[in-house]
Structures are given as C-alpha cells and as structure tokens.
Structure 1
Amino acid sequence: MKKDNIVLEETLDCPDAAPNDPCFGKSAGRPRAADKEAREQALVHTAARLFLDNGYSKVSLEMIAREAHVAVRTIYVKFGGKAGLLSAAITRGRARFFSDMASLETDTRPMEAILGDYAVRFLELVSQPAFVNLHRMVVAEARTTPELGETFYDAGPRKSREQLGKFFARPDIKPLLRTDLPHEFLAVHFVNCLMGDTMSRMLFPPDAPPTSAEIRRHAAQGLDLFLRSVVL
C-alpha cells in the first residue's frame, strides 16, 4: 500500500532509509534544515502509511513514534498529536498534487479553461487508491472518532470549497455568473457536478481505476453541467 500514500504524502526522498540516516532519528551535530525537513516528511509519511494500513483509531502515537524512530514528544511538539499528523499528510499531498497548476486567484485564462483544468486534476486526485481508502476509513470511523471526520473535512473538502469560493468571487469572474447564487454555493455545486455518485461508489471496490480518458470525459461532462446551470 506504500504507493497509495502519494495522495496523503508524496513519496519521500528516502522513504526506505535506515534508522541512522537523515530521515530518521537524530544525527550527530546540529541538523541541517534539509535534514529536519526530511525527518518531518518521513514522520508524516509513516503516520499516513499506518493510518491507511490499520485504521486511524487503531494507530497510537507510540506506534507511530516507534515506526518513525522519533520520540512521542516530538510528535506533540511538531503536530500536536494524531489529528495534526493526518492533517499534515492530507494538506501536503493535496498541495503537491496541484503544485504545477496555476493559482485560481491569479490565472488569467478564460473561466472555462481554468475550471476545465481544475476539474481534471480534482477527479484524478479523488480517483487515487489512497483517497478511496482514506474516504472509506473516514466513513467507517467518523462516528466513533469525531476528530477523524473533522480533520479530514478541514484539510480536504473545506480547503477545496474555500479555494473555489475565492475564484468565483473574483471581480472578473463574478459578473459572468448568476447573481442569485453566492460564491460559497457555487463552489459546492461545482464539486457536486464533478463528483456525481463518486462518493457512493467509493464504498465498493472498483473493478479498475478510471482511465485518463474516462476522467477527462467525466470532467468535461461535469463542467458542462455546471456552466449550463450558473453562467448568465
């Protein structure tokens, strides 16, 4: 399942490093900034792997600390606990997935082109095996572990909605859209047009992940549905 962690935390520079390598534990002397970042990435990567392999509620801080070769106190200091680690994993993975895409706040292309690129990238993200496994874990454990559902929502869906909401509120974009629909609603509606019944289908093992062509076709259909319903 190691490859699945690309959504939660991109493959690290040294994910298979030995305990005495810079990714783990303490090295002699004052650690360099790059070494500190590598260790932090390794810690987040380890936590993400354990969450997906075992379930959030079954993973303790002691288990994470032991696997990552760090002290429990280090986790508290850097992330505040399990929820902070999960949030970091989701946030970092999501940021890297969109890292080569122009910012929605500054992209000057036509609205249709910007949303078209975002739609494809978004559907590629939610089609990743790690996202599917994460979604199933949240559905299964959120009732008994509320912090899991809250952390997932804050680090994922909420950020997507806020990002899209700011885009639809842009001075050059807002006049193109229906005036009776607030930008917060437009963000939710756009995601819903793209997702369709994807969230329901995630509860069942797919025969095979969607192909690139299928994702692009689905993205185009969702975007067309959205634009037909909101553009003046």
Structure 2
Amino acid sequence: MNNTDLTDDAGLDEQDCPEGMLPEHCFGKAAGRPRAADKAARREALLHTAGQLFLEKGYSKVSLEMIAREAHVAVRTIYVKFGGKAGLLNAVIADGRARFFGGMDNMETDQRPMEEILGDFSLRFLELISLPTFCSLHRMVVAEARSTPELAETFFTAGPQRTREELNRFFARPDVRAQLRPDVRPEVLPVFLLNCIMGDQMTRLLFPITQPPTLDELRVRAAEGLDLFLRGVKR
C-alpha cells in the first residue's frame, strides 16, 4: 500500500472516524464504499488542513491529534497513509510542487529544444517559490531547522533535492550534454541554473513580502536568469 495515497480502498471507514463522530459526518463520508473522486477530495482536504496548520502554528507546535481533529479523520488514518507527521509534510510539499510541475512534460523525454524546456521550467520554478505560502514555509523551515531536524530534512528531500535530481537527469541526456561545455562538471549544472534563476529571491524569502511579483516580472527574471546560465555553460 502506498503510504502517501489516500485514494486507495483503505479510505475513511467507520472505525477511522474520531470517537463520537458518526461515519457519515467523517470528512464528508457517505454511506458505503467511497468513490475514487470522494477519496481524492478527502486527501486534498487533509493535506490542505495540515499545510494551513503548519504555516499558522509552526511545524513543531502542530500534533497529529490537532490535524486529525481539524480534518475530521482519525490519527490512525494519518499514520497508515503517511507514516506520521514528517510523511504528511512530505505529501503537502509534493502536492504543492505538483501543482506547478505536474503539467510539464517529463524533462527526460521532452523533445522540445533545450532552451524551451529550461525556459518552461524556470518560469514554473519562479512562480512556485514566489508564492506567499512557499515564502512562509521557507521561513518556518529556517526558524525551526535547528530544533526540529526532521523538518529541514523533509523539506529538502521533498523540494530542493527532488528538483536537483530531475535537473541532473535532464542534463545527463546525451543530446543535452552535447550542447554544453565539456569542462563544466555535470553535477554543478542544477545548482548553477537554480542560482541564476533565483538571484536574491531566497534572501528575500526570509522577510515578509508586501507585494508578490507579477507574472510579467517573473517572465523577465526567468529569461534573464536562463540567459545568464546558458551564456556560461553552452558550447
């Protein structure tokens, strides 16, 4: 069973409902076996509730009992599906990331020109990290990283590490590698690209953002950052 998927048959059965709550009131549960769409909606609602609580109260101050109470599910359900609080946070981050990159073709097989693929990625990446919710998440991770190591580890694994791995696989494509300078080590390419795209964005994430950048502004930043990257690594 997939520990991060609430859409399998182990939905919110009667025994999963919190004590004192009727099954039909449990996270919108209808009588009988839940439909796939209903279970997907419940999963999305649970992740939304968990994400909101993490951002509002801080990761270390949120318990699974608190999440279960707000989401109208049993703590056991969260353990079964996500393995605990760290697994739930991992799913929250992965779900948010998928909203931006889910519609993008697999970079390992995308047959568009390299510049077009990287341009698509760059804009989506900037849109993601410019979200107020992402900024709040990043500040929370920085604030609690020392006292709660699992928070920083989970954030890095579900976000930055996954992005770097996908870029590594893209730059390892023979057709892509042939367009790049042979003296540039492949392992530095993902970090170099991300740094060129972000600029000082990560520094500004530590402070409240009064006005998020517009889409046009993000397009300009993405194009400028990508141009800087390509000038440094293309043959």
Structures share fold, TM-score greater than 0.5: yes
Q: What residue in structure 2 maps to residue 11 of structure 1? A: none
- 8 Å CA contact 2:26–2:73 kept in 1: the answer is no
Equivalent-residue separation in structure 2 for 1:142 and 1:43 (angstroms)? 24
1:195 and 2:198 matched = yes
Q: What residue in structure 2 maps to residue 170 of structure 1? A: 173
Q: What residue in structure 1 maps to residue 50 of structure 2? A: 47
- 8 Å CA contact 1:61–1:72 kept in 2: the answer is yes
Equivalent-residue separation in structure 2 for 1:23 and 1:42 (angstroms)? 12
**3-state SS in 1 of match to 2:60:** helix
Q: How does 1:92-111 map to 2 (within 5 A)?
A: 92-111=95-114
Q: How big is the shift at 1:25?
A: 5.8
Equivalent-residue separation in structure 2 for 1:21 and 1:92 (angstroms)? 27
Q: Report the identity percentage.
A: 67
Equivalent-residue separation in structure 1 for 2:50 and 2:42 (angstroms)? 12
- TM-score (norm: length of structure 1): 0.87
- 8 Å CA contact 1:161–1:184 kept in 2: the answer is no
Equivalent-residue separation in structure 2 for 1:225 and 1:165 (angstroms)? 19
- TM-score (norm: length of structure 2): 0.86
2:181 maps to amino acid: R
Q: Which of 123, 127, 131 matches 1:128? A: 131
Question: Over residues 178-222 of structure 1, what are the superposed CA-to-partner deviations in whole Å (9 max), with x where a residue is unaligned?
Answer: 223333210111001111111111111223111112111111111
Q: How big is the shift at 1:147?
A: 0.5
Q: What residue in structure 2 maps to residue 27 of structure 1? A: 30
Structure 1, unaligned stretches of length 5 or more? 1-18
2:147 maps to amino acid: T
Q: How does 1:77-92 map to 2 (within 5 A)?
A: 77-92=80-95
Structure 2, unaligned stretches of length 5 or more? 1-21
Equivalent-residue separation in structure 2 for 1:33 and 1:108 (angstroms)? 34
1:227 and 2:230 matched = yes
Q: What residue in structure 2 maps to residue 149 of structure 1? A: 152
2:85 maps to amino acid: K
Q: What residue in structure 2 maps to residue 116 of structure 1? A: 119
Number of aligned pairs?
214
Of 214-223 and 181-190, the range deviating more from structure 2: 181-190
Larger Rg: 2
The 3 A distance-change label for structure 1 pair 207 and 35 is closer
1:156 maps to amino acid: G
Question: Over residues 168-187 of structure 1, what are the superposed CA-to-partner deviations in whole Å (9 max), with x where a residue is unaligned?
Answer: 11111011112233332101
